[in-house]
Structure 1
Amino acid sequence: MGDTATDYTEITYRVADRVATITLDRPEARNGYTVRMADELAAAFDRADRDPGVRVVVLTGEGDDFSVGADLSQGGFDFDPDAGPPADWQEPAGRCSKRIFAMDKPVIAALRGSAVGGGLTITLPADYRLAATDSRFGFVFTRRGIYPEGASAWFLPRLVGMGRAMDWMISGRLFDAAEAERAGLVHSVHEPADLLDAVYSLAADLAADTAAVSVAVTRQLLYRMSALDSPEPVHALDSQLIAGIGANPDAVEGVLSFLEKRPPQFTLSPEQDLPDFLPWSH
């Protein structure tokens, strides 16, 4: 059973088989993103995160390219250039990347063709990036006289290390899917015709075989606690989490389904069953 939302103008949104697909939908502009698209993306990820019928989100682009980055041809930013931005103004790419960062559900980005500038930074908080052999990437900001955005200077070194991040961002050069895979920016590379099959196969596996609350807690543990300067607060939180598994029906089901050699039927949902002591939930 599927659900298609029509209340967007620059993206599309549909749900099928517990997977929400969010598609950049400006192929005539090679999916160049605008302020409107950024806000629609943030709203769509929020919608998927709050929907109990969604377990995984796929982010992709219509046409031959994922996104060539910011398209300022439609008037630029959403503030009066003479008055300047309000104090709480947020640049567009970060509106999307910050919402992906906060997700309780895994996100898989399907990248083909060009994914450059903001068309790449918005994918950095995704849990997976799968690429086509025709993909071309670039953090091209220094070649345009502008600056990295989407909080990419925080995300990228965590994915590929400071040395590679420095190279890509300082040079602004383009690089191919093979280099991206070697560096760990993308998880796997596929022929263009096979990319979405690989993405949806991964999404189906995550939806069927992992526990939603366990995934939600795990992805936030990694993002919010891996950069701490000591393991002590991480272990303190681990201890609280593990102490509760005796009363956790998903933990019981996980063990039973393994012993009985059957698919698990997890019942807890991140919309209502996350532990109330998580430090990032306050």
Structure 2
Amino acid sequence: MGRNLMPDFQTLDLEIDNGLAVATFNRPDKMNTFNPAMIRDLLALFDLTDADDAVRAVILTGSGRAFCAGADLGSGGDTFDYDKREGREDIGGVNRDGGGMVTLRIFRSLKPVLAASNGAAVGIGATMQLPMDWRMAAEDSRYGFVFSRRGVTPEACSGWFLPRIVGMAKALDWVYSGRVFDAQEALDAGLVQSLHAPDDLLDAAKEKALEMTSASAPVSVALARQLLWQGQTMAHPMDMHRIDSRVFASRGRSTDVREGIAAFKEKRAAQYPATVSDDLPDMSWADEPPFA
């Protein structure tokens, strides 16, 4: 049986079962549009999953016809006016983008994160998926980086993530035009890794999450996730060499290594003793800037 933690959230249903945390946006009547409560819930979600050693991976999906159909436009023309926004934060006098707070939190997650995009994924519904490790979509899902058609600009750090995922030319095409495109185009461009029949999507995401994590040491996965994502910010391979040498050395002394090698030799499944909550080595190299 899973553990239903839904009462902790306003905009998410969360179930943890078989090592997987499945978080489902639960505003189908609003097409799961993004609001301040969703920001708070998503930040809390990843704090919770990082701290829970029962969680090996996180899957984010939506209820109804949408993954997340962008910002809640209930405030009309004031929707993107930071001076009128609830609970705003700032960086040196500049108001912080709430979507960016979410994507940066996903970026530094200690557990792999998968998107099971079940319908419309527009605006922040598309950009919040960019720092996720594996993106899967229903065959009838649609995407859109529609900011220019709303009079604003790309947010949620998408100017950093999107060109790295699909290349600059495709990123510019989607962002300049603001057009909505189908799942096949998303797949062809590398925005998503696989397409599935709508009824099969969540099961496929669970299968992929277990494939990625069930036989691996959780601490090694947490560290590898940060090494690979943080490596995107480094200017020279020597920068990564300095860091991964230190991380590799710390793992080489761990109880996980002894167990992993013994299990391999004995042809059995490994039972890794180290936990993410207690046994991560120093990760100060992965710290975000002080404002984050």
Alignment of 1:197-208 (within 5 A): 197-208=203-214
Q: Trace 1:131-280 onto structure 2 (pairs within 5 A).
A: 131-276=137-282, 278-280=284-286
Q: Say how many residue pairs are matched.
A: 282
Deviation of the 1:58 alpha carbon: 0.7
Using the aligned pairs only, state the percent identity: 44
Q: Deviations over 1:1-38 (max 9, x none)?
A: 42112121221122111211111110001111111112
Residue 17 of structure 2 is matched in structure 1 by 16
Relative distance call for 1:277 and 1:36 in structure 2 (3 A) is closer
User: Structure 1 residues 270 and 281, CA, compared in 2 at 3 Å: closer, same or farther?
Assistant: farther
Contact 1:35 1:77 in 2 (8 A): no
Q: 1:267 to 1:133 in 2, by over 3 A?
A: same
TM-superposed deviation, 1:143: 1.3
Separation of aligned partners in 1, 2:88 and 2:249: 48
Seen in structure 2, the aligned counterparts of structure 1 residues 249 and 79 have a Cα distance that, compared at 3 Å, is same
Partner of 1:87: 90
Q: 1:52–1:78: structure 2 CA closer, same or farther, 3 Å change rule?
A: farther
Cα deviation digits, residues 219-241 of structure 1 (max 9, x gap): 11111123322111211122222
Match of 1:35 in 2: 36
Supply the RMSD in Å over aligned alpha carbons.
Answer: 2.3
Tell me what 1:4 maps to: 4
Partner-residue secondary structure (3-state), 1:108: strand
Alignment of 1:47-66 (within 5 A): 47-66=48-67
Give the superposition deviation at 1:87: 3.4
Higher deviation after alignment, 224-233 or 72-81? 72-81
Aligned to 1:118: 124
Name the amino acid aligned to 1:155: F
Which 5+ residue runs of structure 2 have no aligned equivalent? none
Note if contact 1:107-1:128 (Cα within 8 Å) is conserved in structure 2: yes
Report the TM-score, using the length of structure 1 for normalisation: 0.92
Unaligned runs of 5+ in 1: none
Q: Is the 8 A contact 2:31 2:69 kept in 1?
A: yes
